[in-house]
């Protein structure tokens, strides 16, 4: 993202970061709808899309609406808060058939915070 680069005026970093955040928020909300609507063989790959915790509500509404059966959320910016929201949404929607869910914990800037066995969560329904 531009805020991570060398700006001609370093004082603009706050403005650039704010603009990036607004763009990511709008992009993520629209993207989850478009990708879930275009579900292919029940699968939706949303890996590396800069999704953040604020996108989880729209995501699971689209998962339900379009009957997504497999969902990849790896390498996003969900972090622990987003992972908790996804887990809560999954538990609340027991009727949702998402037999595969992949998520790794990343910070808000997208940098890996160290991988452990708990960074990947798989939900299965029998």
- SS3 annotation, the chain: CHHHCCCCCHHHHHHHHHHHHHHHHHHHHHHHHHHHHCCECCEEECCCCCCCHHHHHHHHHHHHHCCCCEEECCCCCCHHHHHHHHHHHHHHCCCCCCCEEECCCECCCCCECCCCHHHCCCCCCC
pTM above 0.85, yes or no: no
pLDDT by residue for the chain (126 residues), tens digit each?
888 888 888 899 999 999 999 999 999 999 999 999 999 888 899 989 999 999 999 999 998 899 888 888 888 888 888 888 988 887 776 655 544 555 544 443 334 444 333 334 444 333
């Amino acid at each position: 993202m531009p805020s991570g680069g060398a700006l001609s005026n370093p004082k603009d970093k706050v403005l650039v970061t704010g603009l990036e955040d607004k763009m990511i928020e709008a992009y993520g909300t629209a993207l989850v709808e478009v990708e879930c609507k275009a579900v292919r063989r029940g699968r939706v790959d949303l890996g590396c899309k800069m999704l953040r915790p604020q996108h989880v509500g729209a995501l699971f509404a689209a998962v339900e609406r379009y009957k997504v059966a497999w969902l990849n959320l790896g390498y996003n910016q969900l972090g622990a808060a987003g992972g908790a929201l996804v887990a809560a949404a999954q538990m609340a929607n027991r009727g949702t058939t998402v037999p595969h869910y992949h998520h790794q914990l990343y910070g808000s800037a997208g940098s890996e915070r160290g991988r452990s066995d708990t960074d990947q969560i798989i939900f299965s329904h029998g």
